[in-house]
Amino acid sequence: MHGIRLILAAASLLLACAADAASSSQVANCDSNEADVVCSDLGAIRGSIDGPTLGFKGIPYAQPPVGALRWRPPAPAVAWQGVRSGATYGADCPQIVGTTVQGDENCLFVNVWRPLQKPAHPLPVMVWLTGGGNHAYSGAGTPGFGKVVYNGQALVPKNVIVVTYNLRLGVLGFLAHPALDAEQAEKVSGNYGSLDQIAMLQWVHRNIAAFGGDPERVFLFGTSAGGGNICALMTAPMARGLFHGASMQSSVPAGCEIQTLADAENGTGRAVASKVGCDTQADVAACLRGKSVTDMVSAIPGTFTVFPRVYGPNMDGHVFPDQPITRIKQRRYPAMPIIIGETAGETMQFVNAAGPVTDAASFGAAVAKVFGENMRERVVAHYPISDYPTPRAAFVQLTTDALFTCESRRVARTLASVQKAPVYRYLFAHALENDPVQKALGAVHTVEHPFLFNWQGTYQPTTTDREIQRLMLGYWSNMASTGNPNWPDAPLWPPAGTSGDAYLEIGAVTQDMTGPPKAQCDFWDTVPLPSPHI
């Protein structure tokens, strides 16, 4: 009799999942009497204990973008039979790791972490957008910067649901070419990775209530390219209503501007087609689809320097109708609470591309290489190398100010001037001091994001690290929950205001500040910034 009851319970679960579960209410009402099973709109998923959370990993949110689906918008995922295991991650998307191409094109998966017991009331949802220049990233199950794993173990105990996902990267996610334009009614190409992000957010909107999340409180937080992608998504008509707050961290591009479709096609697009020998073929699109993943991904690799080779969103008039910053100025986006910030030494790892900076001559040459010969004297005058420990330190400071800190202030000012929802700036000024290599790098690009996740690698956080993490987990989870990061047991974080000068400095001493004056943002507002290499 017990076996019959189990069979009937399983049959009831499958029938509930197979029914029309397109509405959140139907998904949420799918009850199998098994605490670790959730019904999505495509089928049942069994979670597994992951620290203090229940994790549901490797859930498909779109069909594998392979064969004829390569370089096409994501197609709806296919329903499955039975109860799908959520114990393991799906494959990472293809990318260059070290010197080899790794990953699998069948990679469009989403992961969800919730409390061990389904919440009695819907919780805010925090969706993580990883960095990596849109051509590489540390996947959800792979140790990243600071040797952390991107999961929900640290944030979920703050009464939130955490979501991570994979998107198509590099040439497979952002290749723009006239031959691909011709296949689409809109005559555009290149934003496949961005469309993956939108498809993922649509999945979250349909399904997150079943996991205990609130589809009306979805908060995006992301670093580097992830932060830049957030600003683009804020102004994408197809993403409207899918998220309600955001944190743009160490964003690239920091100024909420993206390449145009023509730039993408005439830059990396034509270069890739030529490199793989498809540019002279009668059917360029078919030729490109006939190439192996390794050939395509390794053709024109992306780069991480002060002269980045761009893979990412393009202004195509369809997915992204105009420059994101322009649509923000025109109030053609849904206003929402925003965090925007960066680290104190963003460019430490990237400035070598300008050549060794060891003396006054090489310092001036590096400035000219980044900002143009006509700007050399003005920039050098504002950053005398005698004011810094080394010429290289002066160059790191000025490029951090120009490309990150002052860009963040500019975007914060713009947002604060057009919306009532608050905008909060931060500057992360703390290094990972329990490791000599990380300590020497200082508060480098993306160093802040491990503090929002669980330390699971070789780095042993110090007491100061733990205190900073405690504050950040509280600020970010409160922002996701209420639209205000402040909480009783933390220093006050004031809104940036229309001046954009108020900010929170996060470090050994966390406190509200103004400026920072040393960034000389009034000066950088008069300097034309370099365009990305495309």
3-state secondary structure at position 91: coil
Report the C-alpha gap between 127 and 204 in whole angstroms: 9
Report the C-alpha gap between 20 and 340 in whole angstroms: 40
| 133 neighbors 143 (Cβ within 8 angstroms) | no
477 catalytic residue (yes or no): no
Q: Left if phi > 0, otherwise alpha if psi is -120 to 50, otherwise beta: which for 101?
A: beta
3-state secondary structure at position 232: helix
Q: Are strands 83-85 and 53-60 parallel, antiparallel or unpaired?
A: unpaired
Report the C-alpha gap between 453 and 461 in whole angstroms: 12
What burial letters (b/e) apply to 286-298, b meaning 16+ CB within 10 Å?
A: ebbbebebeebbb
* Catalytic-role residue among 24, 224, 251, 481: 224
Q: Give DSSP secondary structure letters for 297-347.
A: HHHS----SSSPBP-S-EE-SSSS-S-HHHHHHTT-S----EEEEEETBTT
Q: Among the residues of 147-219, which ranges form H helices? A: 170-174, 178-181, 192-207
Report the C-alpha gap between 402 and 512 in whole angstroms: 22
Q: What is the dihedral of CA 261, 263, 269, 272, to 10 degrees?
A: -160
| 214 neighbors 208 (Cβ within 8 angstroms) | yes
Cβ-proximal residues to 79 (8 Å cutoff; 6+ apart), any chain: 18, 42, 43
Cβ-proximal residues to 146 (8 Å cutoff; 6+ apart), any chain: 432, 438, 447, 449, 450, 455, 457, 459
| 47 neighbors 38 (Cβ within 8 angstroms) | yes
Catalytic (active-site) positions: 224
